[in-house]
Amino acid sequence: MSAAMDRALMAMSLEEEEEDKPLMLPNRPESCSRGNNALSLIGRILNPDCQKISHLLVDLPRKWGKKGRIRGVALTKERFQFFFKSEQDLLDVLEKGVQCSNEWAVAMKRWVNKEPATFLQFVAVWVQIRNLPVNHYTSQKIWDIGEVLGEVKEIAFDDTENQSQPFVRVKIWFDVSKPLRRSKLIHLPDGEEVTVYFYYENLQKRCFNCHRLNHEKDFCPLLVKARQEQAAIRRTNVVVEKRKSEPVLKESDPLFGVLSEDQVGVNPITGKLKINPEVKKDRVKSTVAQVEKDPHAQKVVLRLESAPVITRDAGAISTGERMSGRFGPEDLRSHHLDSLKELKGEILRERSLVSEEEDINSRSQLD
């Protein structure tokens, strides 16, 4: 392919990208499916790891006893749509409350033209409230207790008829992002405390750690985080134990022989070696105490005086001859004695000169 053809194709692709504008669909009645959507339900699975839409589209119509009268469509990996042939079938499914697929809950709601932000965030659940206080067995108190779980839509209670079950049923809109509450402590007006219990109808599986509907216990974020923290602690302990078994201060370490192994610690935050501040303080105190006992160290360390330079070259001696650099004890002693003798002779000569001058002065005064 020629270079000119390559440039032409590149120019065409760039022009196509620049002209890539959104597609405007025409507003035609025959191209709109709102009429079909009017008799449909929109739903989404809550636990994608355990639920498959392909199985759900087959299982739920058979479970409802409406196989052949419902058509299912997979919209996304988590959302689906059921089309009904009659209004009655659609209402019958909604009356059943929350539905489950593979024992996990499914959120479903009737189709709307414009979905609100909370669409498919709530499910209708029938809840049994047990252990109600005897003196507060009224629809108003049941309503107040049901509001703990969510918005109460219906209360199945008739205080004029016999009640054969030890519970009262309420229908609530439950937020699927929240955990299922199993009980609630209630303070009565007379000061008594009573615990009421909740049982959720048709809800089968949940996380038995945080009691949410969107994951299994093994994948609970709270347990995963706890396992990660425990693993980090175990790794840190292994590193610490390994470092304890091996000497920290090697012979090549400048602190070898100065600090002991138990004086070297590990920073629990960074995991790196550190010198304990108490060790530094004790070391400084001991060093100062040793210096105070040594007068030469006081001059050099405390008063910062320069130490004298020590050399093996003794320099020229009085005879003008340079020694070889090696002196024995006898040589040093004889040299010291000679120096003292010379110094003594000079002192005597100076004294004799002074006495002669004094005699001359005294004679001149007598004349």
State whether 104 and 127 are in the same domain.
Answer: no
Q: In what order do the strands lie in the sheet with 193-200?
A: 151-156, 167-175, 122-130, 193-200, 183-187
Mean pLDDT of 257-282: 62
Cα pseudo-dihedral 211, 215, 220, 221, rounded to 10 = -110
131 and 209 in a single domain? The answer is: yes
Q: What pLDDT is attached to residue 297? A: 64
Burial of 26 (0-12, 13-18, 19+ CB in 10 A): exposed
The string of pLDDT tens digits covering residues 112-124 is 988 899 999 999 9
**298 occurs within a structural domain:** no
Q: What is the pLDDT averaged over residues 151-180?
A: 92
pTM of the complete model? 0.58
Q: Which domain holds residue 140?
A: 122-215
Establish how many alpha carbons lie within 13 A of residue 67's alpha carbon, considering only the half-sphere containing its beta carbon: 7
CB 132 within 8 A of CB 168: yes
Please state, in angstroms and rounded to a whole number, the distance separating the CA atoms of residues 55 and 61: 11
Count of domains for the chain: 2
Q: Is residue 281 part of a domain?
A: no
Residues 126 and 79 in one domain: no
* Statement: residue 326 has pLDDT above 80: no
Residue 54 covered by a domain:
yes
| 129 lies in the same domain as 105 | no
**Structural domain contains residue 192:** yes
Return the higher-pLDDT residue of 179 and 325: 179
Q: Considering Cα of 115, then 118, then 121, then 122, what sign does the dihedral take?
A: negative
Q: 342: which 2 tokens?
A: 């010379």
Going by pLDDT thresholds of 50, 70 and 90, the confidence category of residue 254 is low
Residue type at position 269: I
Residue whose structure tokens are 């840190």: 236
Question: Does residue 314 sit within a domain?
Answer: no
Would you mind telling me the total number of residues written for the chain in this entry?
367
Residue 273, in any domain of the structure:
no
131 plus 86 within the same structural domain? no
Q: Examine the pLDDT at 302 and tell me if it is beyond 60.
A: no
pLDDT of residue 276: 56
DSSP conformational letter for 347: H
Residue 135, domain member (yes or no): yes
Instruction: Supply the DSSP symbol for 305.
Output: P
In angstroms, rounded to a whole number, what is the distance separating the alpha carbons of residues 344 and 120?
A: 119
Q: Is the pLDDT of residue 147 over 90?
A: yes
Q: Are residues 136 and 192 in the same domain?
A: yes
Residue 162 vs residue 249, higher pLDDT: 162
Which of 79, 110, 141 is where one domain is finished? 110
Assign 322 a pLDDT band (cuts: 50, 70, 90): very low
Q: Is residue 94 part of a domain?
A: yes
The position carrying tokens 């040793």 is: 290
Q: Residue 17: pLDDT band by 50, 70, 90 thresholds? A: low
**Residue 126 above 60 pLDDT?**
yes
Of the residues 215, 237, 257, the one at which a domain ends: 215
Enclosing H/E stretch for 120: none
Q: Are residues 106 and 134 in the same domain?
A: no
Contacts of 63 (CB under 8 A, 6+ apart): 99
Query: What's the pLDDT tens digit per position in 20-51?
Result: 778 777 676 655 566 688 899 999 999 999 99
Q: How high does pLDDT run on average in the chain?
A: 78
Confidence label for 320 from pLDDT (cuts 50, 70 and 90): very low
Tell me how far apart the alpha carbons of residues 333 and 327 are, in angstroms, rounded to a whole number: 10
pLDDT at position 54 is 93
For residue 335, pLDDT over 70 is answered with no
Beta strands, E only, the chain: 40-45, 70-74, 79-84, 99-101, 104-110, 122-130, 151-156, 167-175, 183-187, 193-200, 264-266, 273-275
Distance between CA 20 and CA 8 in Å, rounded? Answer: 18
Given a contact cutoff of 8 angstroms between Cβ atoms, the answer to whether 142 and 155 are in contact is yes
Structure tokens at 16: 């196509």
Q: What is the mean predicted confidence (pLDDT) over 75-104?
A: 92
The CATH number covering residue 179 comes to: 3.30.70
- Tell me the pLDDT band of 160, cut-offs 50, 70 and 90: confident
The structure tokens listed for 28 are: 């035609």
Say whether both 126 and 208 belong to one domain. Answer: yes
CATH code: domain of residue 77: 3.30.70.330
Alpha-carbon gap, residue 235 to 220, rounded angstroms = 22
pLDDT reading at 345 higher than 90: no
Lowest mean pLDDT among 92-96, 106-110, 256-260: 256-260
Nearest-angstrom CA–CA distance, 160 and 167: 16
Instruction: Identify whether residues 135 and 90 lie together within a single domain.
Output: no
DSSP 243-295: HHHS-SS-TTSTTBTTB-GGGEEE-TTT--EEE-HHHHHHHHHHHHHHHHT-H
pLDDT tens sequence across 185-226: 999 988 899 999 999 999 999 999 999 999 999 999 999 999
DSSP 86: S
Integer CA distances (angstroms), 85 to 61, 65, 68, in order: 13, 14, 10
Quickly state the pLDDT bin for 340 (edges 50, 70, 90): very low
Do 173 and 120 form a contact (C-beta atoms < 8 A)?
A: no
Which of these three, 110, 137, 167, is where a domain ends?
Answer: 110
Q: Coil, strand or helix: which one is 79?
A: strand
Query: Residue written as tokens 């100062």?
Result: 288
CA distances from 149 to 105, 174, 305 (A): 17, 7, 83
Q: Give the type of residue at 195.
A: T
